[in-house]
């Protein structure tokens, strides 16, 4: 039987072009034929990538990655006006974060900023300036609404945070039809986008919730007992370690963003490590596991680089060390073709290396 896998995609703005490269290479290598993909999860930019692949799989599109790459092409600078706007925003934010330019605090929901963005949008594609329009161009949400909840694999799980209640929120395709607002909510960085209102609730970026959702992928209540993975493949954007102590304002902001992007993930992995220890100690009665719908255990290393078999296995696909050294916080808003192309190509390379190493590491 095929190994059941889930793919979890961490958020990180434009840097999740790396995730697009990873997914392209994985599907190009035929993982959909070699593995049983039971679920996909994502936060922010990772939610976008996961949703595009999920939608293509649900529609039976071949190749699976075409829609994903088309999205990123559309999201990348394509004209001199767009290049000027992109570079101006990146350099402006970089100057503020380095302390070389005063910060102008404007609410993303303010009429002043909305008027300013309307003026700046002149001469540029609507899909480049309007994120909701970009999503709707590449995903037919009316079609998804006609499907309703879809319990069949793969299940899509998107993370967001409820601004009003402070509770975590998961939008799950097996429970409700995925809406454009669900993805917008997962991507709503408070300093860039206004809170996304859905019904009487309002949501911010899934960074405050799960980055990306992992716990839910092993819980039958979310994905169904038949869709529990044997492996969770994590596509990680934020680096774990740093070689030097940050002292400059922009370096401090960059490192703080990296740590914030990883904290929820590490908490979930700590939880799974505890489950590992309990499984290995036979701490659960079979009757209890059967009641939860857990009839099979899988493997996880204690750390990303640990090959010791455990009940849950979460291998990690990360950017090359060389690329990580060149990136900063402002790179997460850079949609220039050079930045996007470098990220996508590195994602392809790291995915191919991951697949090459996987077979000998896991014994076939």
Asked whether the beta carbons of 219 and 268 are under 8 A apart, the reply is no
CB-based contacts of 355: which residues, under 8 Å, 6+ apart?
A: 25, 26, 29, 31
160 touches 185 (CB < 8 A): yes
Q: Identify whether 205 is a catalytic site residue.
A: yes
Comparing CA positions, the residue from 44, 293, 68 lying closest to residue 189 is: 44
Helix axes 80-97, 249-280, angle to 10 degrees: 90
How much of the chain is in helix, strand and coil states, percent to nearest 5? 50, 10, 35
Neighbours of 16 (CB within 10 A): 29
Identify whether 44 is a catalytic site residue. Answer: yes
How many C-beta neighbours within 10 Å does residue 338 have? 10
14, 39, 44, 186: which one is catalytic?
44
Q: Residue 146: what are its φ and ψ, rounded to 5°?
A: -70, -25
Q: Which residue is catalytic, options 14, 39, 173, 205?
A: 205
Could you list the active site residues? 44, 205
């Amino acid at each position: 039987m095929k190994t059941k896998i889930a793919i979890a995609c961490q958020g990180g703005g434009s840097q999740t072009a790396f995730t697009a490269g990873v997914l392209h290479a994985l599907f190009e290598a035929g993982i959909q034929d070699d593995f049983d993909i039971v679920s996909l999860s994502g936060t922010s930019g990772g939610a976008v990538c996961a949703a595009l692949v999920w939608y293509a799989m649900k529609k039976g599109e071949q190749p699976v990655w075409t829609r994903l790459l088309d999205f990123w092409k559309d999201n990348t600078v394509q004209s001199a006006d767009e290049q000027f706007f992109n570079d101006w925003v990146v350099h402006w934010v970089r100057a503020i974060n380095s302390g070389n330019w005063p910060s102008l605090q404007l609410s993303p929901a303010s009429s002043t900023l909305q008027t300013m963005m309307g003026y700046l949008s002149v001469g540029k594609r609507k899909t480049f300036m309007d994120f909701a329009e970009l999503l709707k161009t590449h995903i037919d949400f009316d079609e998804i609404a006609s499907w309703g909840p879809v319990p069949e694999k793969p299940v899509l799980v998107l993370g967001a945070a409820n601004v009003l209640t402070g509770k975590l929120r998961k939008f799950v395709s097996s429970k409700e039809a995925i809406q454009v607002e669900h993805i917008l909510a997962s991507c709503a960085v408070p300093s860039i986008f206004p809170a996304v209102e859905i019904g009487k609730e309002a949501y911010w970026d899934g960074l405050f919730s799960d980055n990306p959702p992992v716990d839910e992928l092993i819980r039958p209540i979310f994905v169904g007992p038949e869709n529990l993975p044997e492996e969770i493949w994590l596509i990680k954007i934020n680096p774990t370690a740093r070689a030097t102590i940050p002292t400059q304002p922009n370096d401090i902001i960059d490192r703080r963003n990296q740590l914030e992007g990883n904290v929820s993930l590490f908490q979930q992995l700590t939880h799974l490590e505890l489950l590992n220890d309990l499984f290995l100690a036979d701490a659960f009665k079979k009757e209890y596991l059967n009641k939860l719908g857990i009839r099979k255990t899988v493997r996880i290393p204690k750390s990303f680089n640990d090959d010791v078999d455990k009940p849950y296995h979460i291998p990690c696909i990360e950017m090359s060390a060389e690329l990580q050294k060149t990136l900063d916080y402002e790179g997460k808003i850079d949609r220039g073709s050079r930045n996007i192309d470098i990220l996508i190509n590195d994602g392809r390379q790291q995915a191919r290396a991951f697949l090459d190493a996987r077979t000998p590491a896991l014994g076939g």
